[in-house]
Amino acid sequence: MTNSATGLDYRPTSYFKDLDPATLIVASILGEERRKDVSDRIASGDFDPLVWGDWITEPKLDDSVRSIVGQGHPRFMGGEYLPSIAEEEIEIARIVLASVTQDVYSIRARRQGKRIDYRVVDEYESTFNVAMESSTQPLSMAELIGLIDGSRQDDDAQTEGLVLSHLAWNIQENGNAESMRGFIAVSSHFYPRLAGYYDGVISRYLDSFLVKEDEEEEEDEEELR
């Protein structure tokens, strides 16, 4: 990715002022499947909460509605148990794992006087060491990447950040790097190119494991000859 106005040096004007209404609606929805649904409806022009029900755009579902939604499939609960978004706070990026329950990590920015504070939350009340705790202006894309790659869960022995650590752990557990393709998605309504950036990072990371696996297979074949 080039360091252009739409690349690593890109910096949103604000996380809080003059936001596009659609961005504000979608970024406030905790549930991943509801968020996707609303995004698709807005993009197609087929969006009317009065028709589809106000619940679909609620930031956090109440327990009774959440229970009904979860009966469809465990993945429908992805993101629904994230902590509520605080006052003067908004999600600026999220990491979604294609696990059975579709685990979500939410990266949030909160206005605190003249500064912006950052935190990472998940659905399990975990605590995180955040690489950048605050700034005076919105992060550049490079700075956000630094936050994602430099942060980690407090009790996590992995030191590869919030994205690659999940790949490393799963590859270690199942021994199959190829099966991890499509397992992690990074997205942001404030940084349009973040998803593509991490698609490339993840692809190169998995390719490096596949090369290593091929080399080990060749070595084993040599030993058998």
Q: Which domain holds residue 119?
A: 75-224
**Which H or E element spans position 170?**
helix 161-174
Q: How many domains does the chain have?
A: 1
CB 85 within 8 A of CB 28: yes
% the chain with pLDDT above 70: 88
Distance CA 137, CA 10 (A): 12
Asked whether residue 26 is domain-assigned, the answer is no
Asked whether residue 54 is domain-assigned, the answer is no
- pLDDT for residue 2: 43
Distance CA 103, CA 32 (A): 9
Asked whether residue 82 is domain-assigned, the answer is yes
- pLDDT for residue 178: 87
Q: What are phi and psi of 86, to 5 degrees?
A: -75, 170
Asked whether residue 65 is domain-assigned, the answer is no
Asked whether residue 139 is domain-assigned, the answer is yes
Overall pTM > 0.85: yes
Asked whether residue 154 is domain-assigned, the answer is yes
Asked whether residue 217 is domain-assigned, the answer is yes
What DSSP designation does 182 have? T
